[in-house]
């Protein structure tokens, strides 16, 4: 299908509200959002946030997420350790939710964003649908990684029973929250309009 795009017609479309403006305008006159032309410059921001997210994801996995003190002693749980613990206590469903939200989704997101950013302009114009769906899934699902941060917050706020049991947040909570936030920003910086531009059109403009 040959579709006339705003860029081809000499305009810039506002990605926030959809209004179309002449190429030389810098901000949308209706909603005030900054207008972005469809080009590869935006990918720098995608990669910068992506790398920041990846850097913070490493300590998030090695440092403890939860410090639990009970009558039987002190315990330190990392992200994966917390999921394994739930599995051992036969809470299989919840263990899978935690594992999915804090391990599978973040790693899947790093791979998916890198793939999208690398593949931009290499797909044929009509081949954009699978890539757009992948992008939409990444945007939708990325926020759900925050579950583990909230679990830590709730446990540490609630389980304060002195010597019987008390739970404190570990340093991994902060780096994991930052990692999730940075990958969300990385996905938001990716311009899905690039998916639809053929190889020869991406480099121009």
Partner 1 sequence: MAETSAPAKLDPAELIACPQCDALHRAEHLPEGTRARCVRCKTLLIVPRERSFLHVIALSFTGMILMIGAIFFPFLEISARGLTHESSIFGVAMAFSDGWLAPLAFAVLSMIVAIPVFRFLALIYTLWPLANGQPAWPHAALIFRLAEEAQPWAMAEIFIIGTAVALVKIAGLAQVSLGPAFWAFCVLIIVTTLKNSFVSKWVIWDEIEQK
For the segment 107-146, give every residue that binds partner 1 (CB under 8 A): 128-129, 132, 139, 143-144, 146
C-alpha separations of 136 from 15, 46, 47 in Å: 15, 15, 18
Q: Give yes or no for residue 150 binding partner 1 (CB under 8 A).
A: yes
Among 58, 104, 118, 157, interactor with partner 1 by CB under 8 A = 157
Question: DSSP character for 1?
Answer: -
Sign of CA dihedral 130, 134, 135, 137: positive
Tokens encoding 65: 């997420």
Give the shortest CB-32-to-partner 1 separation in angstroms: 5
Instruction: List, in order, residues 6 or more apart from 139 with CB less than 8 Å away.
Output: 187, 188
Answer for the pair 40, 120: CB distance below 8 angstroms, yes or no. yes
Cα 69 from chain centre: 33
Question: DSSP character for 127?
Answer: G
User: For partner 1, what does the binding mask look like between residues 55 and 84, x meaning CB under 8 A?
Assistant: ---------------x-----------x--
Give the shortest CB-72-to-partner 1 separation in angstroms: 11
Give the shortest CB-140-to-partner 1 separation in angstroms: 9
Answer for the pair 56, 179: CB distance below 8 angstroms, yes or no. yes
Among 109, 149, 186, 189, interactor with partner 1 by CB under 8 A = 149
Among 89, 107, 130, 198, interactor with partner 1 by CB under 8 A = 89
Q: Give yes or no for residue 13 binding partner 1 (CB under 8 A).
A: yes
Q: Segment contacting partner 1 (CB under 8 A): 42-50, 53-61, 111-119, 167-175?
A: 167-175
Among 38, 112, 117, 138, interactor with partner 1 by CB under 8 A = 38
């Amino acid at each position: 299908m040959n579709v006339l795009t705003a860029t081809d017609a000499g305009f810039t479309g506002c990605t926030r509200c959809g209004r179309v403006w002449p190429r030389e305008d810098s901000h949308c006159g209706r909603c005030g959002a900054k207008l972005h032309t469809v080009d590869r410059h935006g990918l720098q921001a995608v990669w910068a946030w992506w790398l920041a997210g990846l850097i913070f994801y490493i300590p998030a996995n090695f440092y403890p997420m939860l410090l639990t003190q009970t009558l039987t002693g002190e315990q330190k749980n990392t992200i994966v350790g917390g999921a394994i613990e739930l599995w051992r206590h036969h809470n299989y469903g919840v263990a899978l939710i935690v594992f999915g939200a804090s391990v599978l989704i973040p790693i899947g997101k790093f791979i998916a964003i890198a793939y999208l950013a690398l593949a931009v302009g290499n797909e044929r114009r009509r081949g954009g649908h699978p890539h757009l769906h992948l992008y939409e899934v990444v945007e939708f699902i990325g926020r759900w990684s925050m579950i583990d941060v909230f679990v830590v917050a709730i446990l540490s706020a609630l389980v304060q029973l002195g010597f019987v049991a008390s739970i404190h947040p570990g340093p991994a909570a902060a780096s994991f929250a930052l990692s999730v936030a940075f990958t969300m920003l990385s996905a938001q910086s990716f311009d899905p309009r690039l998916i639809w531009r053929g190889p020869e059109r991406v480099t121009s403009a």
